[in-house]
Each structure stands twice: as structure tokens, then as C-alpha cells.
Amino acid sequence: SEKMQRKQSSKNSKQPLQVHHSNQTDLSAWRKGGKPDPEKSLQNPTSHNSQANESEQDSFEQAVSYFEKVQSPVSLRKNEVLQKHLATVESTALEKGLPPEAFDVLLNVALSGKFADAVNTRLLKSLIPASVIPESSLVSSVSWLCVSKCSGSIQLLFIRWVISMFDFIDHKDQLHALYGFFFSFLQDEKMCPYVCHLLYLLTRRESVKPFRIRKLLDLQAKMGMQPHLQALLSLYKHFCPELVSITLSGRMKTYFKNSEGPWKAAISAIRRRNQKKSPVFQPLLLGTTQHQSRKRKWNTQLILPASSASTSNLADVKDKNSDLYNISKSFPVEQLQTFSQLLQNIHHLELPSQMGSVLTHPLLLHYMNCIKDESIYLRLHYWMGQTLQEECTWCVVDSSQYEEEFKDFLEIVHKAECFLQEGFSSCEEFLYRSLPFWDGFCCRSQVLRLMTWIPLSSFSEMKSYLYGPLAQLFFTSSLYFKCSVLESLKELLQNWLNWHMIELGSESDSQNHSLNTTLSGLVNVVAELIHFVGRISAIALQLENNVTFLLYFILDFYETVCDIYLRYNLPLLIMPPAGVFYPALLSMDSVSLNQLCYIMYRYRTNLVAAKENEMIKKKVLQFQFSSQTYQEYNQYLIAMVGCLWTSNAFQKDIHPEGLRLDEEVLKKTRVKDFKNSFNIVYHPALMGYALLFLQQAWPDDNTFNFSLIKGRKWNWYLEYLYAQGLKGLKLFIESSISRVSLVS
Amino acid sequence: DPQKAASLLRKQWSLYSVTPLYKFSGARLKEYARLLGAFIAAEKQKGLAVEVGVDADVKVTFASLPELRGDPQDQPAMLVQLSSRSSVSPKSSDEKLIWSGCFCCVSGEDLLENVPEDFTCLPLFLANGAESYTAMVGSWFQKTFDCHFCRLSISPLNLSWMAAMWAGCSVEKNACATELVFSVPCLPQPLDISYAIHPEDAKALWDTVQKTPGEITQEEVDLFMDCLYSHFHRHFKIHLSATKLVKVSTAIASAHCNGTIKLLQSRYLTGVLMLLTELAISQIQ
């Protein structure tokens, strides 16, 4: 063509001179870069290395300039100069790779047919970049290819070289412009597989044209089912499903012959060297190659759809020109590979045809997080709702064999929820539908984790849908299951409270709340959850004989509950039921007692803060803690102080389910000094500490006389307890007990 | 084209529920036919690419059936037909229908009214023909319109509703018998009990049960079935209430719990489809 001719002529006249000039300067620059550190050479008086290096550079420069200037064909066998320069190029390439500037010269020589194929082959094989390959050198090479000065085998080797070095080419825009030239090489039967591979690397949506598809189909008709054609055609289908259709069998693993052969070792060496610099090349996924692990009915396969172009979006515009315009504007999701791409194209991102694919696409999840498009959520909702319903291994007959698959799916859904910090409504519905049939065993941890993301809504049917079935399972299952449920309900509570905080923060700027919630409705739903946990906890403690492990999970839940007012700005404080409070207070374990002390301290802090706010604002607040809450707190406080400190709990405890006991009854127990039984010295959870304290304070006394701990020793003992890590106890005593009387 | 709607009659249909179709346009049916045609051709010759729009062995047609709807808000139903072209003589008269599928929505809009504009609600899908074609068409729709197909089975409760409703419909004198098939659970060998009633007797029974014409309640359906059960028990000492109703067949239509249906009367076509639309919607909501 005319264009080609022009290129050729410019090559013959001006270009060599320019190239010559720039090469000289650039090469010396490269040499400077390669010089060893001057300080190092100073330390080394012989500086042998440096000199050796210098001469290496010189000979390489000489070699390049030789290849640049050589005019007439030379035979390798007779020409020692050529042999020497060729060897220099080869050794430099293998040792440290060639500088970017050398490629233009060497490619020109190798493809111009000046030398015999043996020389050209050796040159091509040694074209290993030190860093990058300039795109311009490839452009001029392609023009050589078009005038067919070199043999077919050299052309083939060149194409294989381009494929192998594709990642190292500095820019690709001009290469894309040469797409048509590469495409024309498909004619050559030997070249075809490699050209297909190269085209596969180069193809963008705008490269796919009806005439190219027809050409490929002609080739397919001529050559039959060829993996390389299949791969290229399926990429075409990927970009333009409205033009071509193909179904791959999925058995195929590799579609292209390996091109890297001669450069394999060198490439991995450069990759290692440039690890940080070069972008990781990610080949496009062939959407149809998902393997199916089993034979099942077509519409009941649990396959996450691959993201792929959508025909329905594309064909919207009939007019071809505006169609083209649209294509250049929209950014196909299959090209989306980095976060910065997402940021640049966020306003014209073309979404996948099946929304289910976002679940495994972290970038699209980012997108979902910031775009408020109802249809995106709705598409996902429908798909996920149906998939969960169909695949649920304990609801669908004969599906128990697919439990592992279903587990993985639930896992993926849960991960997406964590990422979005938001529950899917389809998951909520799924839980409500399937929990009544759940055995508490199948996919246990996945189901419990999904539970933590049930959305907070003020109209609550949770009592019948969630709490009912869950309570049944809870009471009839193992200790471990009970603890897992409590853990999940704690996370559910925390997610709700976090969500409430975020809503509070964004209240001013957004009027359309995702849920039209009122504060009182919200408080009621949260309170319902806390009361539910309180109820099942009290019963579980009885069932499991107040085992510490369970108590830990229960108190952990209340660590969140006691701080709701201050930490989450929600006017709600609910005390634990007596069935939880007393087992913790009388626990045999210092961990539980310490946890309870901490919780009581936080309740106090929250209640005090609420009282203060009431006083300051002096207006009638919409929400006040009822006097009952304060009363309950005070009852517990009296019992606690009575036990741990003043040793009068049996008389003073006024809680209806409390420790108050008649003197007569207590005497019948024949316990000496029963009054003291639960103070910080005699409390079963702390007696061990008291014992160790005695041993340290009176090393010679073996009588274990606990009554020695009083007065100043009592204070020392307290310090000792605090030093043992009982921080909760410390906070409680320091905040809730007036020590004035004791100091005297 | 009333003939197109009539093609739904006297065929065994498998039922599916379909979630709303995203970005579906009734104006582009021809284009969809081309794309689906190419997809099926590519599926059939796995590994070989097919140009969209080139004639293949299987011809695809999409047709709109606007008469198949309950009220004007409903989307017009859509009939998809696959026919094979004989390779010997490529005349259109030699085309043979090999598969058909029908998407419809009869009085379903009020149930799906909150769905945004981009979505098209055709929640009920009926398929007749080889399952392999259903699979191809279904996968293509799932990929193209981001929807999801789900088999729609009919619960015994809904079957009893059908039995009662269809018993009340007036039919010709020589109509075939109303037949209910029950399956006895927990037996080593499957045992089915067939209970056939003269349609006029069934209608007479239903007329005594139904209080307000045009309105049916669950109590009435239960009462109707209980009457049939007690009659059966009187003669055979078998409690049908302890078995599972698996099939109802009447002169109007016949339905099986595995989700297949045969429509027999054009007069009651929309009525039956309305009930099935409701079932499909309850499955996708």
C-alpha cells in the first residue's frame, strides 16, 4: 500500500542517520548507568572489574555500530569480525539484557535479509531486553515483514518473539494500529497459530469487525476446529456477542502453542529483575471455559457467572456510527483490572451481563459500594435469592452431596457482605425461609456468619422467623453451638449499631434512607435482640451448669450492650437478667468475675453520662432511660458490693431473684463466717489469689490464715489483685466503692 | 394471531419461574431470534464459531402474543419456537417445529408492581420439547437478560385448588372424567391411587360447597376435598388425606406436582395461566 511505501522510503533515506545519532548518545548513557560505583572502585585499587566492564561496553557498542553500518550480505563462516560481534551481542543479552536503543538496529538487521538465516536466528534469539523494548522498533520491523525480505522461518521466529516479549513493549498504541497487518499474516498456514496468539494479545473491542470475523470463519471452514482460532474467536465473541457465537468444550487447557521456548530462561530472569516495575499481565478469561464438576440439570448449576459483555446494552443503538461512539465511551468490565482504571472509568463502566459475577470481582464490589443504582442491587437480589433457594442443601431433596459447593457459595456471599458492610436482603429472606428446616449442623459456620448481616429494619418479623427456630436449635445443641450462636448474635448487634452510627452521620445530607426507620422503632428492634439473648443465655447457663466457657460468650455480648449509649449513641441500656448476673457474680472463675466487674463499671459510666446529659439539656428528651433501669442497676450494685466488699449481701440484696437469705437458713449450712464467703478474699474465684498473696506476704506462715488480710494488708492485697491483671475489678472498685471509710 | 395462542393447547408443558428480565425490549424480537439462533448453532457444534445471522439448521422465531394477558398492565406474552430446516430442500414449508417455549404474565403486574422500568416481568415460562433445547434457550436468556430460571413444582395444596376451581367450570356433556391421582408415601414400592369422578358430579359437589360465585376460599377447597375423601373412605376404607395428591386432570387442564401441565380448553386458558403466574411469582418473591 501507499502508506507502507512511504514508510519504506523514509527508512531508506533519513531514518538511519537519525537512528545512528540517537543510538550513539543513548548507548553511552546506558554505559554510564552500567558503570560501577566510583567509591567502590576507589576502595578497590586494581579496579579490575570496572575495566573489564568498560571494555565489555565498548565491544558491545562496536558490535551494534557494526550491525548498523553493514551494507552487503556477508557470510558468517568466513567473516571473523561478524562472528566476534555476534558473540558479543549474544553474551551481553544473556548477561544483562540489551538496552532499549539496541532493538531498532538489531531488528532492522535481522529482518532485512542482509545475513543468512543462521545469523538472523541468532540475533533474534538474543533480543532480550534489559528493561523495555521501544514500540517504535517493532513498528519498523513490521514494515520489514511486509516487504518479505526475510525468510518464512525468520518471520515466524519474529512473531514468536513479539508474543514472548509482549509484556516488555513500552507502549502498545501503535501496535494496535497495525492490527490489520498482523491479521493479514493469518493467511500463512505456518504463521497462523502464532499470529492468532498475537492478535489475541492485541485485540480490543474496536478491533472486532464483521469482515475479520468472516475471514476467521473462512479459515475455520478450511482448517477445521483449531484451538488457536477457537481462542481468538471466543475473544471476539466476548467483545461482540452480537456478531459471533461460539461454545468451547471446556476440556481444553491450552489454546496456544508455547512461543517462549528460546527466551524462556531469559524472560524469567528479567521478570525477577523487574518484578516491581513491570505490570502483571493478566490474560482475559475465556468466559466459556468454566469446568463443570458434575452433571446436573441445566438450571441448577451453582456456577458464579463470569463477567462478560452484554448484548442487551450494546445493540441498543441501531445507527452504526453512534454505536461506535458509544463503544469508545463505555469501558467494558472485562478490561477492568486495577483500581485506578475503576476510578477513571467509573462513570461509563459497562456492567457485566450477569450481575452475580460481582461477588467474585472486588473492583465491582467497590463500584457497588458507591453507586446507588437500584437495578444493580435488584439484579443481584433476584439471582442470589433464587440460587440460595435452589441450592440450599437442607431444603432441597437429594442435594446433600453438594454441601461443599453450597458452603463455598455461602462463604463468597458472606465475604461480599463483609466487604460492603451490608447484608443482602436475599440472604435475609433465605435465612427466614430455611432456618425452620435447618439441623444446625449443615454449613453451620456459614449460616451463622450470614446471620450476622441480617439488615436492621424497624418493622421486625424476626421474632417468628429468626428467634423461634434459632432458640429451638440453641437449646437442643451442643455447648459449642450455643457459644457460636451467641458470638454471631453479638456480631449482629454490633453490625446493627455500626449501621445506626453511619445513618446518624449521614442523616443530614441524605433524605432517602434505605429504610424509613424511626428511632423508637430501631430501639425496639435492638432491645428485642438483647432481650432474646438475655433469655436464651439464662436458660443455657442452667442447662450447661454455668460453665465458664459459655459465660465468657454471654458476658462478651454484654460488653457491647453496656456501652451502647456512649459508644453507639443509641439511647438504650438493658441490664442482663438475674439468670446471667448472679452466675457471673458467683462464678468459680476470676475471668468471669473480672468481666462482670468491667461490665458493671461501663453500665455505671453510661448511666452517669445519660443523667448528666438530661440535666444539661434540661428539656424533656424524647428518650430517657426508665427509672427501672437505674433501679435494676442499683439492685445489682448493692448485691455486688455486698458480696465483694461489705460482706452483707445476704442481708442487703434486694433483688427478687437475689442472694437474700434468712439467718436461720444460713446457720443451717454450718459455714463459719458465712458473711464473708464472697468477699474479695474468700470468693471462690479469688481465693487462689488470696492464697498466693498470703504465701508472699507471710512466707513462714503455713496456717493459711485469710483473716490476716485486713486493714493496710487489705489494700496491699487489692494492689496485688490489680497487678494480676484484674483490670475490670480495679475499675469497678475504684468507681463504685467509696473507700473513705476504709482508709482510716 | 389467535392461532398462535391455540398452539399452547393439548401439549405437555414443563413449568418454570423466571425472575424479571433486565433490559429486555419487545421491539427487538427479531434481533433476539438471530442471536439465539447463532447461540444454539454454536452450542450444537461445540468449538466451531458461528456468525450471527447466518441460516442454521435450527430456525428461531420470537412472536408476541398480546392476547395472552389478564389486564392491560401485563407484559404481552412471548412465544419462542425452534424449528428444524430440512437440509434437503431449504423451503420454509419443510420446517418442522421441534421445541416451543412461552413466557407469560397473566394478571401479575399488581404483584410485581414495584419493579423498576428496566425490568420486564414475564414470571411464568412453559417449555415443550427436548430438555436440551430448554437448557440452551434458558441459558441464553439467563446470560442475556440476567434472569434466573427455576423449575416450578405444584404443591398438593395448589393441586387441590386446581381440582376445586376446575370442577366448577362448566364443560360439554361428553367431557372426559375428572381424575385425581394420589401417591401413598412410605411404601417399598410406589403405589398410586387414581380417583375418577364424573365431571357433572364434581361440579354438583362444588356448587354445594361454594358460597359466593366467583370467589373461592381455602375453607371451601378443604371442604370439597374432604367430601371426596370421605366418599372414598366409605367405599374403600382408605384415608386419602394421609396420601399425597400428585396429579389433577380435568377437561380444563391437567397438572402434575412435578411441574408439568397440559392445557385443554382455550376458554379457560388465561384463567389457568393466571393461577400459574401467581405460583411463579410466589416462587421468585
* pLDDT in the model for residue A447: 96
Residues sharing a CB contact under 8 Å with residue A358, sequence separation 6 or more, in sequence order: A307, A352, A364, A365, A367, A368, A380, A416
CA B116 to the chain's CA centroid: 26
Average pLDDT over residues A322-347: 70
Q: What's the whole-model pTM score?
A: 0.79
In a domain, A323, yes or no: no
Question: What cell was used for A639?
Answer: 448485691
**Which of B46, B50, B116 comes nearest A378 by C-beta?**
B116
What is the residue whose three cell numbers read 468475675? A593
Domain boundary among A194, A220, A249: A249
Residues A586 and A709 occupy one common structural domain? no
Residues sharing a CB contact under 8 Å with residue B149, sequence separation 6 or more, in sequence order: A299, B16, B17, B18, B125, B138, B141, B142
CA distance A134 to A8: 19
**Which of B28, B52, B119 comes nearest A245 by C-beta?**
B52
How far lies A508's CA from each of A503, A570, B116, B279, in Å?
9, 17, 27, 43
Residues B71 and B129 occupy one common structural domain? yes
In a domain, A27, yes or no: no
CA distance A596 to A24: 80
Residues A83 and A96 occupy one common structural domain? yes
In DSSP notation, A83-128 reads HHHHHHHHHHHHHH-B-TTHHHHHHHHHHHT-S-HHHHHHHHHT--
Residues B77 and B168 occupy one common structural domain? no
Set of chain A residues whose Cβ sits within 8 Å of the Cβ of B150: 299, 386, 389-390
How far lies B91's CA from each of B34, B59, B84, in Å?
19, 12, 11
Q: What is the DSSP letter of B76?
A: P
Band the pLDDT of A740: cuts 50, 70, 90. low
**Which of B20, B51, B134 comes nearest A214 by C-beta?**
B51
Band the pLDDT of A329: cuts 50, 70, 90. low
* pLDDT in the model for residue B245: 96
In a domain, A295, yes or no: no
pLDDT of A340 over the 70 cut: yes
Closest chain B residue to A211, measured at CA? B51
Q: Are strands B58-65 and B77-84 parallel, antiparallel or unpaired?
A: antiparallel
Domain boundary among B151, B174, B205: B151
In a domain, B267, yes or no: no
Of residues A182 and A113, more confidently modeled: A182
What is the residue whose three cell numbers read 485485540? A203
Average pLDDT over residues A74-82: 72
Residues A468 and A421 occupy one common structural domain? no
Contact B144 A353 (CB under 8 A): yes
Residues A496 and A595 occupy one common structural domain? yes
Set of chain A residues whose Cβ sits within 8 Å of the Cβ of B283: 389
In a domain, A639, yes or no: no
Band the pLDDT of A165: cuts 50, 70, 90. confident
Interface test with A, best of B143, B145, B153, B283 (most A CBs within 10 A): B143
Question: In this structure, what is the dihedral angle of CA atoms A232, A237, A243, A246, given to the nearest 10 degrees?
Answer: 90
Residues A165 and A187 occupy one common structural domain? no
Residues B11 and B126 occupy one common structural domain? yes
Set of chain A residues whose Cβ sits within 8 Å of the Cβ of B151: 297, 299-300
Residues B139 and B164 occupy one common structural domain? no
Residue B49 at interface with chain A, using a CB cutoff of 8 Å: yes
pLDDT digits (tens, 9 = 90+) for A276-301: 444 433 444 443 333 333 445 555 54
CA distance A104 to A106: 6
CA distance A410 to A427: 9
Domain boundary among B151, B171, B195: B151
Set of chain B residues whose Cβ sits within 8 Å of the Cβ of A229: 49
CA distance A486 to A496: 15
Band the pLDDT of A574: cuts 50, 70, 90. very high
Q: Which residues of B107-142 are buried (b: 16+ CB within 10 A; e: fewer)?
A: bbbebbeebeebbbbbbbbbbbbeeebbbbbbbbbb
Give the closest-approach CA distance of A219 to chain B in angstroms.
11
In a domain, B279, yes or no: no
Give the closest-approach CA distance of A303 to chain B in angstroms.
12
Residues B145 and B64 occupy one common structural domain? yes
Which range (A45-54, A244-253, A434-443, B25-34) has the least confidence?
A: A45-54
> How many residues comprise chain B?
285
Give the closest-approach CA distance of A164 to chain B in angstroms.
26
* pLDDT in the model for residue A399: 75
* pLDDT in the model for residue A287: 39
In a domain, B270, yes or no: no
Averaged pLDDT, groups of 10, chain B, 285 residues long: 81 95 93 93 87 86 89 89 77 80 89 82 95 93 92 94 90 83 91 93 93 90 96 95 95 94 92 94 89
Residues B115 and B224 occupy one common structural domain? no
* pLDDT in the model for residue A346: 85
**Which of B41, B48, B52 comes nearest A225 by C-beta?**
B48
Residues B8 and B146 occupy one common structural domain? yes
CA distance A225 to B241: 60
Residue A386 at interface with chain B, using a CB cutoff of 8 Å: yes
Residues B182 and B245 occupy one common structural domain? yes
pLDDT of A621 over the 70 cut: no
Contact yes or no for B78/B62 (Cβ under 8 A): yes
Of residues A243 and A372, more confidently modeled: A243
Question: What cell was used for A362?
Answer: 472486588
CA distance A411 to A403: 12
Contact A225 B151 (CB under 8 A): no
Residues A584 and A565 occupy one common structural domain? yes
Contact B51 A213 (CB under 8 A): yes
Which range (A30-34, A70-74, A415-419, A604-608) has the least confidence?
A: A30-34
Set of chain B residues whose Cβ sits within 8 Å of the Cβ of A389: 150, 283
Residues B12 and B143 occupy one common structural domain? yes
Closest chain B residue to A289, measured at CA? B47
Counting residues of chain A whose pLDDT is more than 90, the rounded percentage is: 34
Residues A596 and A488 occupy one common structural domain? yes
Question: What cell was used for A303?
Answer: 456456577
In a domain, B114, yes or no: yes
* pLDDT in the model for residue A154: 87
Band the pLDDT of A92: cuts 50, 70, 90. confident
Residue B130 at interface with chain A, using a CB cutoff of 8 Å: no
Contact A311 B144 (CB under 8 A): yes
Work out how many domains chain A is built from and give that number.
Answer: 5
**End-to-end Cα, chain A, rounded Å:** 109
Interface test with B, best of A209, A211, A246 (most B CBs within 10 A): A246
In a domain, A615, yes or no: no
Contact A389 B150 (CB under 8 A): yes
Q: Angle B260-B264-B270 (CA atoms, 0-180°, nearest 5)? A: 85
pLDDT digits (tens, 9 = 90+) for A495-510: 999 998 888 777 654 4
Say what the ipTM of the complex is.
0.86
* pLDDT in the model for residue A77: 67
Contact yes or no for B8/B263 (Cβ under 8 A): yes
* pLDDT in the model for residue A21: 36
In a domain, A703, yes or no: yes
Domain that residue A241 falls in: 175-249
Contact B150 A299 (CB under 8 A): yes
Closest chain B residue to A384, measured at CA? B148
pLDDT of A13 over the 80 cut: no
Domain boundary among B121, B151, B181: B151
Residue A378 at interface with chain B, using a CB cutoff of 8 Å: yes
Contact B144 A378 (CB under 8 A): no
In DSSP notation, A547-563 reads -HHHHHHHHHHHHHHTT
Residue B39 at interface with chain A, using a CB cutoff of 8 Å: yes
Give the closest-approach CA distance of B140 to chain A in angstroms.
11
Closest chain B residue to A315, measured at CA? B31
Average pLDDT over residues A587-601: 96
Report the SS3 class of residue B82.
Answer: strand
Residues A599 and A465 occupy one common structural domain? yes
In a domain, B209, yes or no: yes
What is the residue whose three cell numbers read 519504506? A8
Residues B86 and B43 occupy one common structural domain? yes
Contact B50 A225 (CB under 8 A): no
In a domain, A192, yes or no: yes
Question: What cell was used for A229?
Answer: 482460532
Contact A353 B35 (CB under 8 A): no
Residues A374 and A421 occupy one common structural domain? yes
How far lies A409's CA from each of A452, A518, B83, B285, in Å?
17, 35, 38, 21
Which range (A114-123, A414-423, A430-439) has the least confidence?
A: A114-123
Set of chain A residues whose Cβ sits within 8 Å of the Cβ of B146: 353-355, 379, 382-383
* pLDDT in the model for residue A316: 40
Give which of B172, B62, B155, B71 is closest to B112, Cα–Cα.
B71
Beta strands in A149-276 (DSSP E): 244-245
**Which of B23, B48, B52 comes nearest A243 by C-beta?**
B52
CA distance A663 to A669: 10
Give the closest-approach CA distance of B53 to chain A in angstroms.
8
Domain that residue B190 falls in: 156-257
Which secondary-structure segment (H or E) carries A616? helix A590-617
Interface test with A, best of B146, B147, B284 (most A CBs within 10 A): B146
Residues B80 and B221 occupy one common structural domain? no
Band the pLDDT of A51: cuts 50, 70, 90. low
* pLDDT in the model for residue A505: 75
- The most confident of the ranges A142-146, A291-295, A338-342, A496-500 is A496-500
pLDDT of A231 over the 70 cut: yes
* pLDDT in the model for residue A743: 42
**Which of A300, A375, A387 comes nearest B22 by C-beta?**
A375
The set of long-range contacts for A299-303, using a CB threshold of 8 Å and a minimum separation of 24, is A299/B16, A299/B135, A299/B138, A299/B139, A299/B142, A299/B148, A299/B149, A299/B150, A299/B151, A300/A390, A300/A391, A300/B151, A302/A387, A302/A391, A302/A402, A302/A405, A302/A406, A302/A409
Work out how many domains chain B is built from and give that number.
Answer: 2
pLDDT of A318 over the 80 cut: no
The set of long-range contacts for A518-523, using a CB threshold of 8 Å and a minimum separation of 24, is A518/A458, A519/A571, A519/A622, A519/A623, A520/A622, A520/A623, A521/A458, A521/A459, A522/A456, A522/A458, A522/A570, A523/A570, A523/A571, A523/A572, A523/A623
Give the closest-approach CA distance of B43 to chain A in angstroms.
5
Q: Is B79 exposed, middle or buried (0-12, 13-18, 19+ CB in 10 A)?
A: buried
In a domain, A390, yes or no: yes
Which range (A391-400, A488-497, A549-558, B183-192) has the least confidence?
A: A391-400
Residue B156 exposure: Cα atoms within 13 Å on the Cβ side: 14
Residue B19 at interface with chain A, using a CB cutoff of 8 Å: yes
Residues A585 and A475 occupy one common structural domain? yes
Q: Are strands A331-332 and A349-350 parallel, antiparallel or unpaired?
A: parallel
Set of chain B residues whose Cβ sits within 8 Å of the Cβ of A355: 146
Residues A404 and A499 occupy one common structural domain? no
CA distance A238 to A629: 64
Band the pLDDT of A217: cuts 50, 70, 90. very high
Band the pLDDT of A169: cuts 50, 70, 90. confident
pLDDT of A610 over the 80 cut: yes
Which range (A46-50, A360-364, A715-719, B97-101) has the least confidence?
A: A46-50
Closest chain A residue to B149, measured at CA? A299
In a domain, B280, yes or no: no
Give which of A534, A431, A546, A532 is closest to A479, Cα–Cα.
A546
Chains A–B, number of C-beta pairs less than 8 Å apart: 120
Residues B44 and B145 occupy one common structural domain? yes
Contact A241 B146 (CB under 8 A): no
Band the pLDDT of A9: cuts 50, 70, 90. very low
**End-to-end Cα, chain B, rounded Å:** 32
Residues A156 and A83 occupy one common structural domain? yes
Which range (A22-31, A155-164, B80-89) has the least confidence?
A: A22-31
